[in-house]
Structure 1
Amino acid sequence: MDDPLYSKPLLRLAALAAGAGRLEPCDAQGSAHNPVCGDKISVTLHLEDGRLVQMAHQTQACVLTQASASILGAHLTGNRQDVEALHRQVGAMLRGGDVPPAPFAEYAALIGAASHRNRHKCVLLPLDAVLDALSNG
């Protein structure tokens, strides 16, 4: 795999699978699906006073979705506005903008997807699932 889309840091993040699994019990759950490629992700969240404090994910997806979910599983906390802001930052990065700041700077490993517009949804899918869970929670 010499394609810069599948960099070693990206593959390491996907293999790490931080946050993989399911939280039982959970305070909220959501999912997202990319019908173009078939990627699916479900997330479970622990909330305290309406703030996300822990997430877990189950993915049936490509390494881009897996790596993005792993970054979120390791670092994502906050309220809906924080998640929406991160979604905008990652989307902007994929359109040529800056990599999100720490603790989400690991998204730099997914920068190879920027030149593959049809793969942007794969990177954003875990964030879509978290937003779905926050809407349902």
Structure 2
Amino acid sequence: MIDDLYSAKLLRLAADLPRTGRLVDPDATSEKVSKLCGSRIVVDVKVSGGRVTDFAQDVKACALGQAAASVLGAHVIGASLAELETTRDAFRAMLKADGPPPEGRFAELGLLAPVRDYPARHTSTMLAFEAVTEAVAEAVTRES
């Protein structure tokens, strides 16, 4: 049901996007766009010792993409590439294969579990995590 999809908690997350904007001198940047709906997310990262030390995001997305970006922005500092990849993969499995929600610092993504019933929304919901894993991977490669 559509009311489950747009819960009050989810809408609060979407309305409160942390770490918005762009970094002046990022170590890496990634942009992801949903071809279906046009949602777009650009993330900038700074990485040191393999962990995210600074992060900014420019989000032009639906409430679902904004909610996922909100969870990411609130908890990304200190995350390693491995943790972000594990979270992205668990998030994708939750949406596409009825898997359990991600655990740990990104557990709030469980609020987006009802999106699994709306396959056309999966891509826009995943954009922030697709972008951040790509950017962090690039920054880690440059760092080594």
TM-score of the pair, normalised by structure 2: 0.86
Aligned to 2:59: 59
Aligned to 2:16: 16
Give distance in 2, aligned partners of 1:93 and 1:54. Answer: 27
1:135 CA displacement:
4.0
Aligned to 2:4: 4
Identity score, percent:
36
Q: Indicate conservation of the 8 Å contact 1:68/1:107, yes or no.
A: yes
Q: Indicate conservation of the 8 Å contact 1:113/1:120, yes or no.
A: yes
Aligned to 1:124: 126
- SS at structure 1 position matched to 2:105: coil
- SS at structure 2 position matched to 1:108: helix
Deviations 1:75-97 (A, max 9, x none): 02333222111111101211312
Q: Indicate conservation of the 8 Å contact 1:43/1:55, yes or no.
A: yes
Give distance in 1, aligned partners of 2:42 and 2:54. Answer: 14
Alignment size in residue pairs: 137
Q: In structure 2, what residue type is equivalent to 1:80?
A: L
Aligned to 1:101: 103
1:130 CA displacement:
1.0
1:10 CA displacement:
0.8
Aligned to 1:34: 34
Cα distance change on mapping 1:103 and 1:134 into 2, 3 Å: closer
1:63 CA displacement:
0.8
Q: In structure 1, what residue type is equivalent to 2:135?
A: A
- SS at structure 2 position matched to 1:73: helix
Q: Residues 79-118 of structure 1: matches in 2 within 5 Å? A: 79-94=80-95, 95-118=97-120
- SS at structure 2 position matched to 1:59: strand
Q: In structure 1, what residue type is equivalent to 2:128?
A: P
1:24 CA displacement:
2.0
Q: In structure 1, what residue type is equivalent to 2:23?
A: L
Return 116-125 or 50-59, whichever deviates more: 50-59
1:120 CA displacement:
1.1
1:38 CA displacement:
0.4
- SS at structure 1 position matched to 2:53: strand
Q: Which runs of 5+ in 1 are unaligned?
A: none
Return 112-121 or 75-84, whichever deviates more: 75-84
1:46 CA displacement:
1.5
